């Protein structure tokens, strides 16, 4: 689903959905394969049907967004995290399902479990939040 996320960032969600609905999944299937094209079509259909409503999801909790998106066939946690990060602009999402993120954590901190990675990320966020408050108070 990396291709979907990259397409969403480059062309925008609405443009992508309208193109898929107008031209069908055949042109897309030539690029990403039949099954992924079907999944992308599912997402486009969910958007057209109002299941994916960016204005509503923008106000929803992370858990509600993930639940809404992962109910669509072909959308998993990784894609939901990328939607939260890049479409909704949530900067407090830690995409533990992303292999690049996990490799980066191992490179920086050494071998650790996913749970340890989440805890390390949470500690860093809390430290950054405290530093930001101190910085703003000192302005």
- Report pTM: 0.67
Tokens describing residue 91: 């900067």
Query: Which residues participate in catalysis according to the annotation?
Result: 98
Tokens describing residue 35: 């099954």
- pLDDT for 136: 47
Residues in the chain: 139
Question: Mean pLDDT, the chain, as a whole number?
Answer: 80
What are the two backbone dihedrals, phi and then psi, of residue 25, each rounded to the nearest 5 degrees?
-90, -5
Mean pLDDT score, 21-43:
78
Specify whether 76 is located in the same domain as 14.
Answer: yes
Specify if 93 maps to a domain: no
Specify if 114 maps to a domain: yes
Tally of domains in the chain = 2
Specify whether 133 is located in the same domain as 68.
Answer: no
Specify whether 69 is located in the same domain as 108.
Answer: no
Distances (CA, A) of 32 to 37, 38, 43, 123, 125: 6, 10, 15, 38, 36
Specify whether 41 is located in the same domain as 106.
Answer: no
Per-residue pLDDT for 17 more than 90?
no
Non-local (6+) Cβ contacts of 105 within 8 A are: 112, 117, 120, 121
Structural domain range at position 118: 99-137
Specify whether 6 is located in the same domain as 74.
Answer: yes
Per-residue pLDDT for 4 more than 90?
no
Specify whether 26 is located in the same domain as 6.
Answer: yes
């Amino acid at each position: 689903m990396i291709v979907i996320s990259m397409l969403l960032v480059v062309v925008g969600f609405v443009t992508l959905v309208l193109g898929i609905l107008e031209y069908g999944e055949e042109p897309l299937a030539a690029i990403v394969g039949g099954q992924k094209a079907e999944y992308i079509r599912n997402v486009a259909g969910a958007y057209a049907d109002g299941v994916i409503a960016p204005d509503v999801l923008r106000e929803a909790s992370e858990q509600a967004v993930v639940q809404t998106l992962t109910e669509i066939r072909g959308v998993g946690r990784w894609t939901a995290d990328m939607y939260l990060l890049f479409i909704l602009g949530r900067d407090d999402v830690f995409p533990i399902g992303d292999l690049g993120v996990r490799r980066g954590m191992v490179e920086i901190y050494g071998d650790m479990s996913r749970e340890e990675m989440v805890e390390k990320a949470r500690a860093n966020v809390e430290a950054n939040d405290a530093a930001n408050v101190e910085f703003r108070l000192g302005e």
